[in-house]
Amino acid sequence: MLPGCSVLVVDPLEETREVLRTALGRRGVRILAASEADQGLALARLHHPDLIVLDLECEGANAGASGKIAAQSLADETQLLVLGNARRVAPELPAGQFVPKPYHYAPLIRKIEELLEKARQPASRAG
């Protein structure tokens, strides 16, 4: 269980938002979801989630907004998991945080859980 963790899902696909909401919600993770990057950016700034799952096709009307999300996550030291093949949005991201599409949900969810565990570790060590 990962209670107290929060994940922001920025993905235009309703199915992905719903699957992550259902699967992670059951593990006690708080889910914030947005279909477009603008919305996602607002949520990220407001709630500072532990992890952002960002689909590269979430640009919507505002090109470049997904880059801003990536920048925001760097500023907040939030983990970022990018869904898509391109590294163009955030080339400075370490490898392994990209999940190419199409993907399967079970491994994706495992990966999210791993990242959340990692995010918690430094905190628990400090405390």
Partner 1 sequence: MPSLFVFRGNNQGMRFELEGEAVSLGREAGNDIQLHDTEVSRRHAELRRAAKTFTLTDLGSSNGTYVNGKRIESHSLANGDEVQMGGSMMLYTCLGDESAGDLADKIDIIARHQPGDRSRIVRSMSQAEGSRILDDDSGGATSPWLARARSNLQVMYRTALAVSHTLDIDQLLSRIMQLIFEWVEADRGCIMLIDADTGKLEPKVRRNRKGVKSEDRITISKTILDYVMEHNEGVLTSNAGEDERWNPAASILQLGICEAICAPMQGRYHMVGVIYIDTSISPQRVIQQQEAAKFTEEHLKLMIAIAHQAALAVEDTRYYSAMVQAERLAAVGQTIATLSHHIKNILQGIRGGSFLIKEGLSQHDEGMVGKGWEFVEKNQERISNLVMDMLTFSKEREPEMAPADMNAVAADVVELMTSRAKEKRVELRFAPANGLPTLTFDAEGLHRAILNVVTNAIDACQAAASDDEGAGADSPPRPGAVEVRVEYDAAAAVVKIIVSDNGPGIPPEEIDQIFSLFVSHKGSRGTGLGLPVSQKIVQEHSGRIAVASRLGEGSRFTLEIPAVPPESVSPNAKSDGKTLV
| Shortest distance (Å) from residue 76 CB to partner 1 | 17
- Structure tokens given for 101: 């599409």
Structure tokens at 41: 């950016």
CB of 106 to partner 1, least distance (A): 7
In angstroms, the CA 34 to CA 40 distance is 5
Least separation in angstroms between residue 127's CB and partner 1 is 31
Does position 36 interact with partner 1 (CB under 8 A)? The reply is yes
Say which DSSP state 97 is in: -
Enter the tokens of residue 126: 């400090």
CB-CB neighbours of 40 under 10 Å: 28
Segment near partner 1 (CB under 8 A); pick from 63-71, 74-82, 103-111, 117-125? 103-111
Applying CB under 8 A, the residues found at the interface with partner 1 are: 12-16, 18-19, 22-23, 32-36, 39-40, 42-43, 46, 57, 59-60, 101-106
